[in-house]
Chain A
Amino acid sequence: MTFEEIKTKLKNYTIGIAGAGGLGSNCAVALARVGIGKIIISDFDIVYESNLNRQYFFKDQIGLRKVDALKENIKRINPEINVIDNNIKLNENNIVEIYKDCDIIVEAFDLAEMKKMLIETCLSELPEIPVIIGSGMAGWGKNNAIKFRQNENLYICGDEKSEIADNNPPLAPRVGIVANMQANTVLEILLSKK
Chain B
Amino acid sequence: MEIILNNRQESFDREKITISEILQIKNYTFKMLVIKVNSKLIKKDAYDIFEINEGDNVIVLHLVSGG
**Interface: B27 (CB within 8 A):** no
Q: Are B61 and A119 in contact (CB under 8 A)?
A: yes
> Given A116-B34, A120-B43, A152-B39: A137 and B67 within 8 A (CB)?
yes
Q: Are B43 and A135 in contact (CB under 8 A)?
A: no
Q: Are B66 and A175 in contact (CB under 8 A)?
A: yes
**Interface: B25 (CB within 8 A):** no
Of listed A137, A161, A163, A170, residue having the most chain B CB within 10 A: A163
Q: Are A124 and B67 in contact (CB under 8 A)?
A: no
A55 nearest in chain B by CB position: B67
| Interfacial chain B residues near A103, Cβ < 8 Å | none
Q: Are A19 and B67 in contact (CB under 8 A)?
A: yes
CA distance in complex: A108, B33 (Å): 17
Q: How many residues of A contact B (CB 8 A)?
A: 36
Interface residues of A in 127-173 (CB under 8 A from B): 133-138, 149, 151-152, 154, 156, 158, 160-164, 170
CA distance in complex: A115, B66 (Å): 10
From the candidates B32, B59, B66, B67, name the one contacting A116 in the complex (CB within 8 A): B32
- The chain B residues found within 8 Å of chain A, CB to CB, are 7, 31-34, 36, 39, 41, 43, 59, 61-67
- By Cβ-Cβ distance, the 8 closest A-B pairs, closest first, are A112-B32, A110-B67, A163-B64, A164-B66, A112-B63, A23-B67, A138-B66, A112-B65
- The chain A residues found within 8 Å of chain B, CB to CB, are 19, 21-24, 108-113, 115-116, 119-120, 123-124, 133-138, 149, 151-152, 154, 156, 158, 160-164, 170, 175
